[in-house]
Structure 1
Amino acid sequence: MKKLLDYCFAPEKTMDKQCGREAVLVKRHIRGYDTKRWVDAFKRNDENRSFTHKNRVVLRHEIVAFSPEDNHKITVDMLEEIGAWYLRNRSESIGVCAVHWEESIHLHFVIAGVGLDGKSTRISRGNFKAFKIRLQEYQKQRFPELSHSIVEHSKKKPSRFALRRKKSI
């Protein structure tokens, strides 16, 4: 857990020294700014799990990437709003989000494998696709200027700037 959080929130990834952009951090149901405290919070949250087994998922790692063609249009406020929307609508669980200012600006989401209610935050492929379509519609409505980063999840094969689900821990 600590390794993933340290990677997602590494200063060399989250600070954009070339353009002078600040680190962007969005949190939901979690306190502090120290990854060690977050690990403790995720562990405490996992203890509330209603069903425990050895292969349980403790954390989910998901990424939302934007097209490099939209980099000059993306602002800190936009990223904070998208991050907050994602964490609020993905599941009722604790989660954190960091922005990586790279060639393709992207958001890293680390979400608890169990919600505040003790149930798994896992969703089926169909529900995850429906969630991605809701995110796409939200982005189109709220930030139409990010036109190169629209993925069209309703198509058969999304572009490479899609929401990607990383391996869960």
Structure 2
Amino acid sequence: MKIVTRAELKAMPIGTLYTEFHEDGKKGWPFGPDSLFIGDCGYIDDFYMIGIGTPDAESTEVLFDRQGEMEQQGAAYPVDLATDREGMYQDHCRYLVWEPEDIRDIVARTAWFAAQQGEWNATRRYRIRKPDGTTRADLDASEQDARESAQPGEVVERMYERHETEWRPV
């Protein structure tokens, strides 16, 4: 995750997840993404986005009715994925964005839980392989630490991930 300016957000790839960031905790730290960046409008200082925080509705009246039904009766409606314009026109706005690695990790964890695999407590184990094919070391570390430990010409291989107390081959 990182905080970016309006200009930086407008230069990001389509589908970037973000939320508006208010400095100095004026509204507290954001709890999660609420919009998808779609692209620069081009003809005006604005951009296209999809707000993912409301139910799909064909009118404002229906939207308010559905929000009330969801709150009071536990009703469920699909998310509204219509493209809209952001419409703030304020160059000083900043945004908290979720980077592709963040999204990948969130999706992986969600899939893990959806498969009812239990608590996620992944630790990776890496092997450093010499150019002649023999191994020099096995490490319980981050990939960056393993890569820093490798000598020129050596290859870092991810061997296992630990989930709770079980090691699983990758």
Per the normalisation by structure 2, the TM-score is: 0.22
Larger helix share, 1 or 2: 1
